[in-house]
Amino acid sequence: MEALLAELAQNEVFSNVKQADLAFLAQSSISRTLRDGEYVCHQGDDWPKVLFVESGEISWALTSPGGKEKILFTIKPGEDFWAHSIFDGEPIPASLYAIGDTKIRLWSKDDILTVVQRNPDAIWAVTCRLIGIMRHAREIIYGLAFQPVSARLSQLILDRFHDEDDLLAERDLTLDQIAAMISSTPQVVCRVMYQFQEEGLMEVSRATIKLLDPQGLKKLAEAY
């Protein structure tokens, strides 16, 4: 419990909650351990909850009537997610599922609102969090409208795999997941990744991605 309290205290929303209320949230949370690909909820569910990721990663994925999937963003350790159903009572517009082995905490609408309403700074922090998600959605829409696959893939690689201290990173996403994140197909993603390799931008194996020319990838990402 102490570890959870420490993690919540570092979060941009929960850090604005009084210590007694933070302890209540830690005690009232529901813990879930998920396997890779296991769903938290499905698009169209009535799901008025808040989620906090302790370890692993959760994808927020929209599925078309034809079955095509687009991962809009992912929720990483220490981050929270406030479901639409809490605010408008309508079904959740996308699905949440685990990428890799993942541990999360969940709160019901009643428990979370009881705490937030007693902590005005937390209300402001939730608002800022939701505005940040809206701005991120704008960037996604811009990219889909104006950027080619090569630019979108370059940006994803830089965001996910670029570390100034270690240019060799574990390849923790499948081609299907990468394609869903940049609105492409696995075949196109595979072709562009190997094109990047031929151009000396990176080296790709089944298990790792090594960035050879991060600046070259950055130029591609910012060219449009």
What separation in angstroms does the CA of 74 have from each of 45, 62, 96, 191, 224? 19, 12, 9, 24, 24
Q: What is the pLDDT of residue 144?
A: 76
Single residue among 145, 176, 202 that ends a domain in this structure: 145
Cα distance between residue 172 and residue 111, in whole Å: 34
Q: Which amino acid is at 196?
A: F
Q: What is the CATH number of the domain that holds 189?
A: 1.10.10.10
CATH number, domain at 14?
2.60.120.10
Distances from the Cα of 82 to the Cαs of 11, 58, 179, in angstroms? 13, 13, 25
pTM: predicted TM-score of the whole model, two decimal places = 0.78
Tokens of 1: 């419990």
- Please report the pLDDT score of residue 214 as a whole number: 92
Give yes or no: residues 38 and 110 share one domain: yes
Give the range of the structural domain holding residue 166, as residue numbers without chain letter: 148-221
The 10s digit of each residue's pLDDT in 160-217 is 887 777 778 888 889 999 999 998 999 999 999 999 999 999 998 888 899 999 999 9
Same domain, 112 and 34: yes
Binned at pLDDT 50, 70 and 90, residue 143 comes out as confident
pLDDT in tens, 45-64: 999 999 999 999 999 999 98
The enclosing H or E element of 137 equals helix 120-146
